[in-house]
Amino acid sequence: MIDNTTPAPTAGLLSTSAAGAAAASAAGSTPSSTIASTTEAIDSRFAHIDTLSTIELAGVMNNEDARVAPSVGAHLAEIARAVDGITERMRRGGRLIYVGAGTAGRLGVLDASECPPTFSTDPSRVIGLIAGGRDALITAVEGAEDDTALGRADIAAQAVGPDDAVVGIAASGATPYTVDAVTAAREAGAFTAGISCNADSALGAAAEVPIEVVVGPELVAGSTRLKAGTAQKLVLNMLSTMTMIRLGKTYGNLMVDVDATNHKLTARVHRIVTEATGADEDTVTSAVEAAGGKAKTAILMILADLDALAAEDALAAAGGVLRTALTTHTPNSQKEQS
Taking only the tens place, the pLDDT of each residue in 68-112 is 999 999 999 999 999 999 999 999 999 999 999 999 999 999 999
Q: Is position 275 annotated as part of the catalytic site?
A: no
- Residues 6 or more apart from 146 whose CB is under 8 A from it? 176, 177
**pLDDT tens, position by position, 225-240:** 999 999 999 999 999 9
Percentage of the chain surpassing pLDDT 90?
A: 81
Angle subtended at Cα 245 by Cα 114 and Cα 213, rounded to the nearest 5 degrees: 70
Using a 10 angstrom Cβ sphere, with 0-12 exposed, 13-18 middle and 19 or more buried, the burial of residue 330 is exposed
* Cα(161)–Cα(188) distance, integer angstroms: 5
Judge whether 180 and 134 are in contact, CB under 8 Å.
Answer: no
Stretch among 101-110, 194-203, 307-316, 323-332 having the lowest mean pLDDT = 323-332
Which amino acid, residue 246?
A: R
Cα 156 off chain centre by: 21
- Picking from 185, 169, 125, the residue whose alpha carbon sits closest to that of residue 5 is 169
Q: Is position 281 annotated as part of the catalytic site?
A: no
Which pLDDT score is estimated for 224?
94
Average pLDDT, the chain: 87
What average pLDDT score do residues 215-230 get? 96
Using a 10 angstrom Cβ sphere, with 0-12 exposed, 13-18 middle and 19 or more buried, the burial of residue 88 is middle
Cα 118 off chain centre by: 14
**pLDDT tens, position by position, 177-192:** 999 999 999 999 999 9
- Residues 6 or more apart from 191 whose CB is under 8 A from it? 85, 86, 88, 89, 164, 165, 166, 208
The residue from 40, 64, 78, 145 that is catalytic is 145
| Secondary structure (3-state) at 169 | strand
- Residues 6 or more apart from 332 whose CB is under 8 A from it? 302, 303, 304, 305
Which pLDDT score is estimated for 331?
56
Q: What's the pTM?
A: 0.84
What average pLDDT score do residues 4-12 get? 31
Q: In what order do the strands lie in the sheet with 191-196?
A: 126-130, 96-100, 165-169, 191-196, 209-212
Is the pLDDT assigned to residue 209 strictly greater than 60? yes
* DSSP tag of 332: S
pLDDT band at 329 (very low <50, low <70, confident <90, very high): confident
Percentage of the chain surpassing pLDDT 70?
A: 87
**pLDDT tens, position by position, 10-65:** 222 222 222 222 332 333 333 333 445 899 999 999 999 999 999 999 999 999 99
